[in-house]
Amino acid sequence: MKLFSLLKKTRPIVLIMSAVVLLSFAAGFAAGKLKITDAGRLRNSKIAALSRTLEYNVPLYGPLLQKYKIWERQKLMGHIFGGRAVKAMFLVFFNNWIVANATMVVRSVFVVPLVLYPYGRFLQGVTAAQTPMTYQFAATLVFEFGGYFLVICGTLCALSWTLLFKRFDFASRKEGFRSGLKVFALLYLVSGFFIFFGSYVEVMAVLGMSLR
């Protein structure tokens, strides 16, 4: 099946996930503007803590991820305070495109952890409403989380097309799986462009603050 036809089949999942993102963010933005809730309190909530630490509870993977995170923070701080902007940017890019996206894939495959996804977008909306909207914040939000969004959609397409191949008009489960992998690979590559620019903006903003 041609790639363009496959991309058309992604429409239901992309539309549903887009609605989840937009509605959650809008609800959070409204709640933040009306001061119904506070971004700081939400970030310290049990749900936010669970979302941040979910992967660390996975046997074998969790301890490895924790060791990597400790190493990555130390390296990143060294690059930032050492003024090594290029190295800092590529480290952030690697962390976001490879490691963070791997987490998004795992969460999407198991589906249940995605219940926490709307909460994250709600928190982003509250934060946007209660924080001065700089172009760095807006660009990071669009590029980095746009990249994650593409990977989540690609993973859900591959999963849905494999499990429900007849509903998506595939001749066999194998064809659904192969088609899903093609779309996932394409969306994963495209996410790299988003995340690369997001990483650049993020590092430049951090370096700017560290030099003040």
3-state secondary structure of 140: helix
Q: Is the pTM of this model over 0.85?
A: yes
Structure tokens at 171: 């001749």
Three-point CA angle 63, 101, 98, nearest 5°:
75
Per-residue confidence in pLDDT tens, the chain, 212 aa: 688 889 999 999 999 999 999 999 999 999 999 999 998 889 888 888 888 888 887 778 788 888 999 999 999 999 988 888 899 999 999 999 999 999 899 889 888 778 889 999 999 999 999 988 777 778 888 898 999 999 999 999 999 999 999 999 999 999 999 999 999 999 999 999 999 999 998 888 877 654 44
Q: Which residues of 27-63 are buried (b: 16+ CB within 10 A; e: fewer)?
A: bbbebbeeeebebeebeeeeebeebeebbeeeeeeee
Gap between the terminal Cα atoms of the chain: 55
Domain that holds residue 17: 3-210
**Residue 141 and residue 123: Cα distance in Å, rounded?**
12
**Residue 192 and residue 187: Cα distance in Å, rounded?**
9
Domain tally, the chain: 1
